[in-house]
Amino acid sequence: MKLVVFNSDRLGCLLEDGSIVDLNLAYAAELSWRGASRPYAHAYSLLPPRLSEFIEEGERALKAAEEALQYIGKGYKEGPRGERIIYKPNEVKIHAPLPSLASRIAMAGANFYDHTAGVISMMTGKKVTVEDIKMELAMGKHQPWGFWKSCRNVIGPDEAIIYPARTNRLDYEVEVAAIIGRRGKDISERDAMSYIFGYTIVNDLSARDQPDDRGFFLAKNFDTSTPMGPCIVTADEIGDPHNLGMRLKVNGEIRQDGSMKMMIRGFPFWISYLSRDMTLYPGDIISGGTWREPRLTLHQGTLRVRQALRSS
């Protein structure tokens, strides 16, 4: 299931033909068709119209959404009072699938072999290979690290990126992010994947020429620095996310094209690692890092970024 946030922050499902279904109203219509009393109240309880509440409801909400889609599949197109519940792509505004402003966005740093090798080579002036990184990891020398992104800087997939005036080196990094589906603390790596609700795409924009900002306080957190979406794909449709491909284009030109198979530490590690010291809540986001160092840097001017997942 591909979930989107559209128009006035309504929860929708993206269908194969590109149309959007208002899941809450579709479920209310299905309940009314079955003769249920107070279909709107029951639909709001079982299949909330907001993404954050939907994620918190878990399996119950997903089951209700499947029933709503089956109802739509029979050809029904109106709510209990004749409301419209299906929209064409050009009739809606798709927002970022950010569960809420209370969500936390954890970003894994230097978490892909080739990316890490390239960065170290650039910083030291010495050629570092993927095999060198694997050897360091085996010896316990490659320690995990990361940073946080502010939800206030998240934008939707078709929103404009504001180029910060203080930088001449704006970089982009396509990443796959996991959305936490239920509360958890001290989660084991063995159980970690069961805590994932679904996955989305995050573009980690960076102001690279900020040498005094070693902790990424502002270099990673400026207005529009976190494009997200367009949808959350539920975990049952993804299978193993570590087999996904990743691709990013700027103005139609491919700049990144790689695979999640190059991750140094997968999502089970990061979920376990983070939950040692903090409780993870539904709607929290963990982004797994990028495939490689961007091939080109964006300079001041107009840009249009496209990011995508694909089968590896």
The answer to whether the beta carbons of residues 151 and 177 sit under 8 Å apart is no
> What mean pLDDT, rounded, does the chain reach?
90
Helix (H, G, I), strand (E, B) or coil at 66: helix
Q: What is the pLDDT of residues 210-229, one digit of tens each?
A: 766 666 788 899 999 999 99
Rounded Cα distance, 274 and 278, in Å: 6
Rounded Cα distance, 247 and 174, in Å: 7
Residues in CB range of 293: below 8 A, 6 or more apart: 115, 118, 119, 122
pLDDT of 308 over the 80 cut:
no
Q: What is the pLDDT of residues 67-76, one digit of tens each?
A: 999 999 999 9
| CATH class for the region spanning 105-311 | alpha beta
Amino acid at 125: G
Q: What is the pTM of this model?
A: 0.91
Amino acid at 12: G
Q: What is the pLDDT of residue 300?
A: 42
Tell which residue, 1, 149, 14, 212, has the closest CA to residue 95.
14
Peptide bond preceding 230 in cis form (omega within 30 of 0): yes
Q: What is the pLDDT of residues 118-168, one digit of tens each?
A: 777 877 888 888 898 888 888 888 889 999 999 999 999 989 999 888 888
The answer to whether the beta carbons of residues 303 and 251 sit under 8 Å apart is yes
Rounded Cα distance, 178 and 266, in Å: 11
Q: If 0-12 CB within 10 Å is exposed, 13-18 middle and 19+ buried, where does residue 144 land?
A: middle
Amino acid at 75: G
Residue 88 DSSP code: -
Residues of each domain in the chain carrying CATH 3.90.850.10: 105-311
Rounded Cα distance, 185 and 188, in Å: 9
What's the average model confidence in pLDDT over 96-103? 97
Scan for tokens 């089970």, then name that residue: 268
